[in-house]
Structure 1
Amino acid sequence: MTLAKKIEELLKDELEPENVKTIINIAEYLKFKETQDIWDKINESEHEYISEKELKLIEKIKAQGEFISQDELLGELGINGDEI
């Protein structure tokens, strides 16, 4: 069940539909922000785990455009980004 559905189920009898939608929007924003914070921490610490040789290879791949975005990868794997 998605975050939106969980919130909707929980609050459907407590608030007006437009207020439930507002809370869903806020929760989705906060979830996105937390996810971005996690990725920022991962990116900041990448030099600790990736060798110089691997970094050069990654830069070469990026320069050639041979990479896939996180959203595209999740889509190919059939994973909904909201469920992560």
Structure 2
Amino acid sequence: GEYVPRFYPAAVALGDRRGAAMSEAAGSRAFPAHAVDDASLALGETHLREDRMTPALHRKLADQLDDLRRALRVRGNG
């Protein structure tokens, strides 16, 4: 359970150190898509609002959180 809370600060820091392409890759490939629960969605939304991040990473995380929101809806209707 430690991965999800560490993911967002690590992705932001990676963007700061290595640039937009690297942070976008982190947002795509390292995103904790396995964690389909309300707490993960809430944490992601908080980071999206409050963290200073590259526009590329912000877009990628917003997309990932949209997917997570859809997955939660589907799970709720199942």
TM-score by length of 2: 0.37
TM-score by length of 1: 0.35
Higher-Rg structure is: 1
